[in-house]
Amino acid sequence: MNKNRLLQLLMAHQDRPVSGQEISDDLQVSRTAVWKQIEELRKNGYEIEAASRRGYRLVRIPDRVGTEEIMLHLTTARLGRPIIYKDTVTSTQEIVREEAEKGAKEGLIAVANEQMQGRGRLGRVWQSRPEQGIWMSLLLRPQVPPRYAPQLTLLSAVALAEALDSYLPEPTTIKWPNDIRIHKRKVAGILTEMQADMDEVQTVIVGMGINVNQNDGDFTEELAEKAGSIRQYAGVRQSRPQVIASILKSYETWYNEYLTNGFGAVKAAWTAKADTLGSFIQVETSRQTVEGKALRITEEGALQVQRSDGNTQTVHSGEILDDPPSG
Ligand code: BTX
Q: Does any ligand 1 atom lie closer than 6 A to the CB of residue 177?
A: no
Output the pLDDT for position 1: 59
- Cα of 31 vs centre of ligand 1, distance in Å, is 47
Residue 165: per-residue pLDDT: 97
Q: What's the one-letter identity of residue 7? A: L
Q: Does residue 185 have its Cβ closer than 6 Å to ligand 1?
A: no
Ligand 1 atom at minimum distance from 133 CA: 18
Measured CA to CA, the distance from residue 238 to residue 291 in angstroms comes to 39
- Reported as type and span, the H/E element at residue 289 is strand 289-297
What's residue 13's pLDDT? 86
ipTM of the complex in this document:
0.99
- The closest residue, in CA terms, to atom 4 on ligand 1 is 120
Instruction: State the pLDDT at residue 324.
Output: 41
Q: Which CATH number fits domain 280-320: 2.40.30.10, 3.30.1330.100, 2.40.30.20, 2.30.30.100?
A: 2.30.30.100
**209: CA distance to ligand 1 center in Å?**
6
327 residues of the chain, pLDDT tens digit each:
567 789 889 988 888 899 999 999 999 999 999 999 999 999 988 999 998 788 999 998 888 999 999 998 999 999 999 999 999 999 999 999 999 999 999 999 999 999 999 999 989 999 999 999 999 999 999 999 998 888 999 999 999 999 999 999 999 999 999 899 999 999 999 999 999 988 899 999 999 999 999 998 999 999 999 999 999 999 999 999 999 999 999 999 999 999 999 999 999 999 999 998 999 999 999 899 999 999 999 998 899 999 999 999 999 989 999 864 333
Domain map (residue ranges) of the chain: 3-60, 67-273, 280-320
Distance 189 CA to ligand 1 centre (A): 5
Q: Does residue 207's CB lie within 6 angstroms of at least one atom of ligand 1?
A: yes
Are the C-beta atoms of 6 and 27 separated by less than 8 Å? yes
Q: Is 190 in the pocket of ligand 1 (CB under 6 A)?
A: yes
Please indicate whether residue 267, judged by its CB atom, sits closer than 6 Å to ligand 1: no
Pocket test for ligand 1, best of 126, 160, 221, 230 (most atoms within 8 A of CB): 126
Q: What fold is seen in the domain 3-60?
A: Arc Repressor Mutant, subunit A (1.10.10)
Residues in binding site? 115, 119-121, 186
Give whole-number Cα distances, 12 to 6, 68, 78, 174, in Å.
10, 15, 25, 38
Indicate the angle between helix axes 240-261 and 264-273, nearest 10 degrees. 130
Amino acid (1-letter code) at residue 28 = Q
Q: First vs last Cα of the chain: how many Å apart?
A: 65
What is the CATH T-level fold of the domain 67-273, as seen in this structure?
Answer: BirA Bifunctional Protein; domain 2 (3.30.930)
Binding-site residues for biotin sit at 115, 119-121, 186
Name which of 317, 314, 127 is nearest 222 in CA terms. 127
pLDDT (0 to 100) of residue 15: 85
